[in-house]
Structure 1
Amino acid sequence: MKKVMLKTTLSLAVTLASTQIFASGFAINEQSISGMGTGFAGRSSVADDASTIFGNPAGMSRIKREQATGGVAMLDAHTDISDARSRPNKGTNDGDMVPFIAVPMGYYVKPIDDHWAFGIGMYAPFGLVTDYEKGFAGRYFGSKSDVKVMTLQPTVSYAFNDKISIGFGPTINRIDGTLESNLSITPRANDGKVKIKGDDTALGYNIGVLAQVTDSTRVGLTYHSRVKYKLEGDTKVNYSVLAAAGLNPSQKYDASLKLQTPESVDLSVTHELDDQWTIYAGSTWTRWSRLENITVENKGVQPLLNGQFGSITEEQNWHDTWAHAIGASYKLNKQWVLRTGLSFDQAPTNNVDRSPRIPTGDRTIFSLGAGWSPTDDLTIDVAYSYLKEEAVKVNNHNNRGQSYNAKYENWANGFGVGATYRF
């Protein structure tokens, strides 16, 4: 069968980004509750618990007792939409597009001897859930998205001595997505629906180095590889105007979408000022420039209705980003440690290609946290983060005469709770 692309699905394919995630693009930062308390400053150098499997697998060399760490981060996002203009000139702009969501994580580390350690982790590195109201004015450029990436990472680390260690873990990554948008051939035609579903499993890796450069200072470097996916599933189109053309108004096609999640590099420093105070700093570079454009391919689609369903590639033109964080912890006593952090995170989007799916700007995040150890075997961590984005504008139009322009102001609250148990 002839393979062409269904144009309306492309506005769906770009949905892998959202304001509810506390990292740039469609990345998720919340892989550690203890790290969340310091704004993830020192992510690759702190190695306080088993979540170092994600932060820096070399950090397992600092864990001297078998332990398990788990937790959940809960994200509550909000958006104010103003100065909205659309064609057709109808619809709402409530901005309540992100439901309250939870991001789970779990890790296990077992030291083997003075040099080797083994661990395994499960976490979410990327994902989103967005769901605009039914009559959203920008529904032709995005209405609903549900995309999840879960990663399983078996990991080993090796300590050359008490100063230098390395770690490596292959990642097994599962992506599932359901993306929806409204469909209309002309601004005055009745709304239809288009829905694309797909999934894939792909491999990557996580590698790190940790150096104890002085008695009080550690430096960590971590590389997370890119992962290449080819999501395969189906596209469903339901549109009443097809019936007028003597066609079935409900159509279904085999669909595929190639997508890469980007590689990133994290460099961090942890410095113990004294027995009570520890400070952290870190920077993360992410290669978002890999997302230049998006193409969805559907098998068996004919160029119907004067070519409205012809081939197309939608430009994204994302750019590489930097995130920077500073933080501190204070050991109040044997049972309690208090944490705080401040992060600055660039958005990869640009003013030309930004859409209602990805209405994000540069972010500032303030974090607080605490760890309570009622016994030597158990630590309970809690964290809170407040995110504020710069105001950004969305300017979208298509060749069917539809358009949507608006100003977005986003903010979010994050809550985390976790525990580490030492065997």
Structure 2
Amino acid sequence: MRAKNLTRETCGWLVGWTGVVAMLSHCGATGFRLPDQDAFATGRGEAFAATADNPSALYYNPAGITQLEGHQVRVGVYALNLRSRYTSPQTGLSFDNEKDLHAIPQFYYTYSPEDSPWSFGLGLYAPFGLSSKWPQDTGFRTVATRGEVRYYTVNPVVACELMPGLSVGAGVTINHAELDLRQGLVWPAQPLDLFAFKGDGWDVGYNLGLRWQVHEKLVLGVSFRSTTTVGLDGHSRAYNLMEFPPGVGMVPAFPEQRWAAGANWPFPLKAIFGVSWRPTLDWNLEFNADYTGWNRLRTVTLHQAGGIPGLIPSEVPLRLNWEGSWYYEFGVTRYFEGGWHVSAGYIWNENSVPDATYSPLVADLNRHFGSVGLGWRGDRLTWDLAYQFGYGPRRTVTGSAPSATGQTADGRYRFLSHALAVSVGWRF
């Protein structure tokens, strides 16, 4: 194998795989998308688009805020322990993702003037994010090692009750994304080299919602969040501490090099269709079908102001070829006297990444989530607490594209998560 072919292909694949992290608007199918934006909704399996009766409706369905009175504030945090495990088909050894603890905050404010059909709100939340880090000796070091994406949204919203029981809402999403992506360059198992890209940028999108109470016991909810494309500006860097590989083709050692770099990274649309049925005032059952348009992620190009001839090209096409996927969410809440309520929920989430373009940074697979919740609503104070358990049955990946050193993402992947969500609200 000639060194030029080895290194050029290596760079192309390493940037392509690390770029996958940026695309996860979830965290895989779940990926790096973060659908858990309120403890009450999480306790119900995120089936909340039709109910939408607290300030977190700004995220789930902005039309829902017309149900709220006066000024209301709601804050919360979603604390997640996420474990992905990889088992090598060659050695039989297993490795765990080393970035397993995350905490995602939320803030919502709504105002509904008295005797007015109009309502207003402001949300601050992170609809995408999380990070992934694998040990250096997994066997796919030149395919993927580490990636982190942070995506923050400021979301002013206005909603109107067009007629009793029928409301619409619309908002602007002002989004800021930050990425820090790293990967081995040519060394298969030793941290002797690095290729990394770090950048950030802004984009503006929108969200829409409709809530229609077609019967005293039946409510329909529809929510839509637009695509965004964040122009990431930053730098890439690379170094190699030793010549590689003897007898195959020489890649000389070189100190760290830096270049201005950037890319336009697409984030997907999201659409939710929900129906809530309340057989009595004490019960609320809801089903949501939640679609994420990951199929927007096809090929993206990383542009660099420099490179190393024969090793790192200045422009690299990133071939992702993801597929759209669904969450199917079911939730139930039982209300009691004194303001108390308990909830339970279930989610099934299908994967989005085909074997051919699979990345361990996503470790995407079909997943099941179960949750329970407890809460209390008073005249002014409200609070909710939810626990969520996630499980991904084993996925065996075969035929994934190799790096130039011959490493692939092939192997067996499992997923396990525990999460605790807490939200507190105040009406004034």
Residue-by-residue CA offset, 1:193-225 (whole Å, 9 max, x unaligned):
112100001000011111111112211111100
Contact residue 306 and residue 314 of structure 2 kept, 8 A: no
Spell out the pairing of 1:67-78 with structure 2 (5 A cutoff): 67-78=72-83
What is the CA distance between 1:365 and its match in structure 2?
0.8
User: In structure 2, which of residues 127, 130, 147 is the aligned counterpart of residue 128 of structure 1?
Assistant: 130
Partner of 2:255: 249
Contact residue 85 and residue 405 of structure 1 kept, 8 A: no
- When structure 1 is superposed on structure 2, of 170-179 and 267-276 the one drifting more is 267-276
Whole-Å Cα distance in 2 between the matches of residues 38 and 189 of structure 1? 45
Percent same amino acid among aligned pairs? 25
User: In structure 1, which of residues 352, 357, 360 is the aligned counterpart of residue 356 of structure 2?
Assistant: 352
| Change in 2 beyond 3 A, CA 1:272/1:139 | same
SS of aligned partner of 1:160? strand
Structure 2 residue runs of 5 or longer lacking an equivalent are 1-7, 245-249
Contact residue 78 and residue 412 of structure 1 kept, 8 A: yes
Partner of 1:209: 210
What is the CA distance between 1:54 and its match in structure 2?
0.7
SS of aligned partner of 1:391? strand
Partner of 1:240: 241
| Change in 2 beyond 3 A, CA 1:189/1:130 | closer
Partner amino acid for 1:153? N
What is the CA distance between 1:340 and its match in structure 2?
0.5
Partner of 1:31: 37
Partner of 2:164: 162
Partner of 2:4: none
- When structure 1 is superposed on structure 2, of 245-254 and 45-54 the one drifting more is 245-254
TM-score normalized with structure 1 length = 0.90
**Residue 99, structure 1, aligned to residue 100, structure 2:** yes
Whole-Å Cα distance in 2 between the matches of residues 402 and 40 of structure 1? 38
What is the CA distance between 1:65 and its match in structure 2?
2.9
- When structure 1 is superposed on structure 2, of 293-302 and 66-75 the one drifting more is 293-302
Partner of 2:141: 139
**Residue 116, structure 1, aligned to residue 118, structure 2:** yes
Whole-Å Cα distance in 2 between the matches of residues 160 and 108 of structure 1? 22
| Change in 2 beyond 3 A, CA 1:21/1:313 | closer
Partner of 1:377: 380
User: In structure 2, which of residues 314, 330, 333 is the aligned counterpart of residue 329 of structure 1?
Assistant: 333
Whole-Å Cα distance in 1 between the matches of residues 189 and 132 of structure 2? 26
Partner of 2:247: none
Whole-Å Cα distance in 2 between the matches of residues 276 and 13 of structure 1? 47
User: In structure 2, which of residues 391, 396, 412 is the aligned counterpart of residue 393 of structure 1?
Assistant: 396
| Change in 2 beyond 3 A, CA 1:340/1:221 | same
TM-score normalized with structure 2 length = 0.89
| Change in 2 beyond 3 A, CA 1:115/1:18 | closer
Partner of 1:59: 64
Residue-by-residue CA offset, 1:46-80 (whole Å, 9 max, x unaligned):
12210001111111111123210110001111233
Whole-Å Cα distance in 2 between the matches of residues 342 and 72 of structure 1? 20
What is the CA distance between 1:304 and its match in structure 2?
2.9
Residue-by-residue CA offset, 1:125-175 (whole Å, 9 max, x unaligned):
111211223433322111111210000001111111212111110000000
Contact residue 369 and residue 381 of structure 1 kept, 8 A: yes
Partner amino acid for 1:385? Q
SS of aligned partner of 2:355? coil
Whole-Å Cα distance in 2 between the matches of residues 19 and 78 of structure 1? 19
Q: How many residues in Structure 1 have an aligned counterpart in Structure 2?
A: 411
Partner of 2:415: 410
What is the CA distance between 1:390 and its match in structure 2?
2.7
Partner of 2:174: 172
What is the CA distance between 1:44 and its match in structure 2?
1.6
**Residue 292, structure 1, aligned to residue 292, structure 2:** no
Partner of 1:229: 230
| Change in 2 beyond 3 A, CA 1:189/1:165 | closer
Structure 1 residue runs of 5 or longer lacking an equivalent are none
Whole-Å Cα distance in 1 between the matches of residues 23 and 415 of structure 2? 13
- When structure 1 is superposed on structure 2, of 285-294 and 69-78 the one drifting more is 285-294
- When structure 1 is superposed on structure 2, of 10-19 and 390-399 the one drifting more is 10-19
